[in-house]
Structure 1
């Protein structure tokens, strides 16, 4: 919301100053691995005299399981947009009202409301990106904007393909490839998707979150992968290019939220406000190679990031984006059956 009076802005500023003056102690951050710039935590720690401890996780499923178990000691968590409802329905996130924070107006209009947190009652942007395919063009010189890379792979890529163990993304992209709707409960479509995945698996090397070195050294030459991670790999081996499957690729945003049982609440609120400042949001983007949704951050971004091809979806492929979401219970159960069969 736009501030309309000087007194409102002054009150907000005084409140933030009061928080800043009182800030000390600790903050425990829970985030995906390789997703948090050390210099961001150093800056926050120095500015507010707060010691920050970072704990990594691999996937949303791992994170929510640990939070559900209790006794985790975390304050702020990074959660993918489609997973927010699962956290909220179980009372795991604090309704921290980020829209009342001083830096909230820095969020770009398209990200001030998201389907899973329409009022931004719980979350603020971390970064956003896409899930598509990454291919070594020194090995393969065909079309890279196709899910056939992993579902009906060319001979030269067979045996050196990885797919990330992200169940919903994998099945949604496969359903789109065969012309079905993501999150469908249609048994015929799901059976067709399952059969295609099982057949394609024979040509894969792994279902994994592999180290970047496996691509840089060309032990792996293709993968279902993320735009920012692909940009980082391209910077170390320029043979790798990123493609957006024309039949459908995933678009998502990861967000920062305060856990409902956080012990360092005021420091957590300071951190959410802190990452909505353009210079700090740019620090996250420069490290992760993803866009961030904060207006004004571009001027602090590195030329490598600003010019990264992976961050600019071609106009003709923008309509193929699939908003990442968690399916209904019936579809989710059917997805789980397929995934269990595929990964056993």
Structure 2
């Protein structure tokens, strides 16, 4: 009895000391080259929290890592159509951003979204498009087409990079062959597979790190995201962004707290923090995407207003669409195609 009485306070002390140690930390798992160091420094100073950011290169990479467990992350930043998959698998905490103080700053358009109805799990990080980026000093033809990577013109054969984001690449190819997002039509998917397999020998690489390599001319063309292309154009004015007329994805990446997070309160502080307009503007100023927070534009760099990578040409706007969360059957079929493409 006496031993038990002594053991209880010792266990309680251990739990308390562990919690105290964890209280000053936050571990974020985010896309590479996507997190403004100034934002992190500002958060660390405001809350006396040490933040560690670990990078990933695709939604598939992040989901696989999280699902395996033992990762040590508190926050992940999946694309919207992956959020329901995380929720379905029990990987996210229902942190109720809709009840946080700064939720009032979320633009009306982004308050109730298909991937997170009522915003019970996520807050906006950034949103944009997936298209193609081309160095116009190398190729001066039409760039508003997925033929840039699926049937490259002679000037670009062997010079095209393709980002390793399965959902974007598969769906852009589906659009190119005349299908619809998340299709399970085997005839369409055979065309998709054949188109990708035939195109791959004409590619240079399948790499996530496009911004610097577009800037220095190492990648004359690549499937790319609009903000990354914007940053590259800032370094190299011959870089241009194309919106494939056959169809291209719109997306929003969202900040979610993991169900097994060790630093939940700090993670909630971070969710609320990035819904402050001035802080959302820091996110956009670094990565050059729109953010979904009202009032943030007044804090953004002037050159972001009217930039061609952000303001979609009117004649190509309707070709863009938010990708839905595909059903398991479609996901399995896409994974099979993607696996074959990696061989």
TM-score, scaled to structure 2: 0.91
CA contact (8 A) 2:59 2:165 kept: no
Matched, 1:200 2:187: no
Work out whether 1:94 is the aligned partner of 2:93.
Answer: yes
Paired residue for 1:60? 59
1:305 aligns with 304
C-alpha distance in 1, partners of 2:106/2:68?
33
Deviation at 1:333, TM superposition (A): 1.6
Larger gyration radius, structure 1 or structure 2: 2
Query: How far apart, in 1, do the equivalents of 2:241 and 2:51 lie?
Result: 34
- Mapping of residues 220-299 of structure 1, within 5 Å: 220-299=219-298
RMSD across aligned positions (CA): 1.6
Distance between the aligned counterparts of 1:245 and 1:211, measured in 2? 18
Q: Give the distance between the partners of 2:209 and 2:66, measured in 1 at CA.
A: 25
| Unaligned residue ranges in structure 2 (runs of 5+) | 1-19
Post-superposition Cα deviations, 1:140-175, rounded to whole Å, max 9, x if no partner, equal 111111111111211111110111111121111111
Q: Write the distance in 2 (CA, Å) between the matches of 1:292 and 1:65.
A: 26
Is the 1:158–1:204 Cα contact (8 Å) retained in structure 2?
Answer: yes
1:1-344 matches, within 5 Å, as 25-344=24-343
Structure 1 residues not aligned, in runs of 5+:
1-21
**Separation in 1 of the partners of 2:218 and 2:270?**
39
1:241-296 CA distance string (max 9 Å, x none): 00111110110000001111112211111111100000000000000111000000
| Conservation of the 8 A alpha-carbon contact between 2:23 and 2:263 | no
Between the aligned partners of 2:142 and 2:136, the Cα distance in structure 1 is 10
Question: What is the number of residues matched between the two proteins?
Answer: 323
User: How far did 1:96 drift?
Assistant: 0.7
TM-score (norm 1): 0.90
Tell me if structure 2 keeps the 8 A contact 1:24–1:49.
no
Report the CA distance between 1:92 and its aligned residue: 0.9
Whole-angstrom distance in 1 between the partners of 2:170 and 2:66? 26
Change (3 A) 1:133 1:62: same
Determine if contact 2:60/2:166 at 8 Å carries over to the other structure: no
Q: Deviations over 1:74-126 (max 9, x none)?
A: 21221111110111111111101111111101111111111110110000000
Whole-Å separation in 1 of the counterparts to 2:23 and 2:273 = 15
Distance 2:286 2:273 in 1: 16
